[in-house]
Structure 1
Amino acid sequence: MIVSRVELAIMPANPRPRRLGEMDIESLHRRIAELEQELLSRKHEAEAVREPLSSMLSVLDSMGHGVIITDRHGRPTRINPAGARILGIDATQADGADDWFSGAYLPDGCSPYPAGQRPVARALQGESVNSEEILFLHPATWEAIWVQVSASPLVDLDGIGRGAIVVFRDVTPQKRALAALRETQQRFQSILEHTPSIIYLKDSSGRYLFVNRAFEDNLGRRNEEVIGLTDNEIFDPPTAEQLRHNDRRVLRSGQSYQFEETVPVNGAQKIFLSVKFPLPDVRQPPYALCGISTDINERKQSEERLRAEQTFLKQLIRAHEHDRQLMAYEIHDGVVQYISAGLMHLESLAAEKSLSPKEQAALELAIDLARRSVAEGRRVMSGLRPPILDEEGIVLAISYLAAEQSSPGELEVEFRHDVSFDRLDSLLEGTLFRIAQEALTNVRRHSQARRAEVLLVERGARIHLQICDSGIGFDPARVPDDRFGLKGILKRAELFGGVARITSQPGEGTTVSVEVPNTQVATTSSPAAIRR
């Protein structure tokens, strides 16, 4: 620094003039040092401000939420990476956010957001905006994006507004999930309200928390009237005790159960099939249960009618079998015995030597006809009901049937069995015999098989009868409707609570499988009783 030398001449009071010295250089240097110190202090202050500002900007850049800083005119001057990613713009071009704010809509999704009410505008006016949802339309794709926005004024140390800071996050996935949840709830509510089944919730003490419209329609009480009540306050004591007993079982076990519950509805007792299951708490026992009760009154009535019809049909079959049994014994004790006696007399005459050749030929013809008559009588008896079935039971009867159906050189029928029972109910024995008889008759008539097998097995509480052959087979779907043999097998098994399956393919043989409950109560009648 160049310091000019200034000289001042001042006239002294005495006559001898006095000359002043140069300006104090040391004082000037001192002033310069003070200025340099002041500049250095300001520099340190600036650095002290710049360092936290840089840290603050680093924090903003690392935030997961979007952040926009605007000037006092509302123009974006900075946007952090998260905000740029949400808006799909370049982080170095913060002014691109203007296009987004101009396309803002109110939460109704239809009304444009008034410019003066936008969060940025309100923050510039000194207002703080907290978690306000705004719908934006992407400027390029017009995709709807929901953003939750908070905004605050940005002021300096003197309290003068310098802009606004806007923090926002993309809540589009949550909004979509909420909309999907709301739609699901609406569907669920619609199902609850329109299903014919009664649906209800009860807490652990048995108080109703919710009932659907079907409950209201059947019981004649509105949801608001039922909430907080127990079964004791709605139903008669026996009904309430029945319902509460079932509820306690579900809550104690923590498992779902199915019950048939009888409940009075409009003065009449109705049967409901109720499925009840607990609503568990993660850390505690079930806090409530849900019940779904379906009116099965008509079904139960239909089942009763069906059982009555089945009982009646069984009685008819039993009476029919009894008549066939009686006819078989009548033939055996009457026609066959008389013919057999006559045959014995004819055979005794054949030993006479005095007969002429013509008489001998006539006698032999009579003997042959008598023998054929006896054989035919026995065949008719077997078709009606073989006496061995009533006298010895199903095992020996099927064994007899297999031997009867076998023909050397034509068809060989093998019978195997593994059972522990001695006798079954006579009607069930007759049913199993008829099924085996019908199946073997079909084998002889249609299968062209050289070998067949009959298997009778007892497995627990079920009896399995199987007849299979190695014949030409057939397509079960193409059996004419006027063929009742196979249908009879199916219906006979169904009548006794069993099931029959007929499997066959052309060239693969045929298998008839029957499974019926094991009824070991023998109710057979003795031959003497039948004859009487």
Structure 2
Amino acid sequence: MLESPSKTALPSTESPTPDALADLLQNPDRLWEAVCDTTDAYVAVIDRSGIIRFCNRVDDGFTRDQIVGHSFVRFTLPESMALLLRTLEEVFETSSPRSLETTVRRPTGELNYFSIQLGPVALDGRTVAVLACARSIRPLKESEQALQRERNGLRRLLEIQERERQLVSYEIHDGLAQYLTGALMHLHACQHAERTEPAARELDASIRLVQAAVDESRRLIGGLRPPALDELGITAAIESLVVDARAEIANVSFTAEMSGSRLPAALETILFRIAQESLSNARRHSAARSAHVRLTRDGGFVQVHVSDDGQGFDPLCVPEDRFGLEGIRQRCRMLGVEPRIESAPGRGTTIEATLPILPPSGVA
């Protein structure tokens, strides 16, 4: 038999009366207790001498007795104490909030990282204490450190790759290319000697083949690592890329505004590879009629810009087996920046990277 609806038990949905809510809002102790219990932050009250007088909770292996009654800077690393004390004094002096990050060593010896907001607690117009709200940012720091390790690993791999390319380039230049050039000189000398018509045809064919081999060796040297990059610098190296690109693109222009001394070798390599990959994509995929390359140095930054009027593409739909654009991104990220890659079907392509001449802090 079904129970009558009138007998069905329902949870109470009664709201606090306006009077009860008003009483609660007039009770700062209850509100303070609720805030301290609810927040995921560590809340502490610090007096003018830097001593912790209250904390809402403890963690990381500490007990309340190890926190309350002790110096606020006791738990941070020695190299961070001065900044923490100075920031605390600024809040007392200016009655304005401040924020900072610091590192705490746990009783186990492990490190934890905190973002701390410090705010004044005023009484009769005078700051009598500071309220500190600290949140652990250890997961964020660990992610940043892991990302930095990956970038450093990528940088080392790219440096090894560049050294190997340089070695192979020099081996071809000093070995194979020299032998081919010598053979070509001897063959040209033979052209002036007396010879029969069949021998002349064979000699001419041999000269064409050896000349093609010389050209191919030069092309390989340029693709691996052009000597101009090491000998003459980034402007000459990019100029060689532009000359090669004119074989497929009728109108390729190049402007350079590079005053001052040569750039660091690692930075020149990154700029060269960005320009090389951008022009290579334009030559192979864009069907462009014109392209422009610009290299500009301005203060502490250098910018490489490559644009074309080709058929363009959707940057979000690049096949997974195409690694050129990703290579550009990763090389830029090693220096803490993102390249600008703009393209759309029928609208050409622009690739631009503005790189710091000195690497940002933390980038080896």
**TM-score, normalisation: structure 1:** 0.57
- What residue number does 1:469 align with? 308
Q: Secondary structure at the match of 1:263?
A: strand
- Which of residues 366, 375, 386 in structure 1 aligns to 2:215? 375
Distance 1:496 1:234 in 2: 36
Q: Is the 8 A contact 2:91 2:120 kept in 1?
A: no
- The 5 Å alignment of 1:205-220 reads 205-213=49-57, 215=58, 219-220=62-63
Distance 1:464 1:237 in 2: 40
Q: Secondary structure at the match of 2:339?
A: strand
Q: Is the 8 A contact 1:503 1:511 kept in 2?
A: yes
Q: Is the 8 A contact 1:416 1:456 kept in 2?
A: yes
Matched, 1:447 2:286: yes
Identity, % of aligned positions: 34
Matched, 1:415 2:254: yes
- What residue number does 2:265 align with? 426
Distance 1:393 1:485 in 2: 23
Task: Give 1:374 deviation, angstroms.
Answer: 0.8
- What residue number does 1:339 align with? 180
Task: Give 1:196 deviation, angstroms.
Answer: 4.1
- Which of residues 249, 263, 266 in structure 1 aligns to 2:104? 263
Q: Secondary structure at the match of 2:206?
A: helix
- The 5 Å alignment of 1:322-401 reads 322-352=163-193, 354-401=194-241
- The 5 Å alignment of 1:434-513 reads 434-513=273-352
Q: Is the 8 A contact 1:274 1:291 kept in 2?
A: no
Distance 2:276 2:324 in 1: 10
Task: Give 1:390 deviation, angstroms.
Answer: 0.6
Counterparts in 2 of 1:237 and 1:274: CA distance versus 1, 3 Å: closer
CA offsets, 1:453-497, max 9 Å, x none?
112222333322221111111111111222111111111111232
Aligned residues: 344
- Return 5+ residue gaps in structure 1 as ranges: 1-109, 111-143, 147-171, 521-532
Matched, 1:274 2:274: no
Segment of structure 1 superposing worse, 366-375 or 299-308: 299-308
- The 5 Å alignment of 1:132-147 reads none
Distance 1:236 1:307 in 2: 24
Q: Is the 8 A contact 2:264 2:357 kept in 1?
A: no
Task: Give 1:359 deviation, angstroms.
Answer: 1.2
Q: Is the 8 A contact 1:475 1:504 kept in 2?
A: yes
Task: Give 1:364 deviation, angstroms.
Answer: 1.0
CA offsets, 1:314-343, max 9 Å, x none?
222212111110111111111111111111
Q: Secondary structure at the match of 1:331?
A: helix
Segment of structure 1 superposing worse, 285-294 or 378-387: 285-294
Segment of structure 1 superposing worse, 427-436 or 399-408: 399-408
Q: Secondary structure at the match of 1:508?
A: coil
Task: Give 1:247 deviation, angstroms.
Answer: 1.2
- What residue number does 1:293 align with? 134
CA offsets, 1:383-421, max 9 Å, x none?
11001001111121112211221138x432212222334
- Return 5+ residue gaps in structure 2 as ranges: 1-13, 360-364
Q: Secondary structure at the match of 1:498?
A: coil
Of structures 1 and 2, the one scoring higher in RCO (CA 8 A, sep 6+) is 2
Task: Give 1:360 deviation, angstroms.
Answer: 1.1
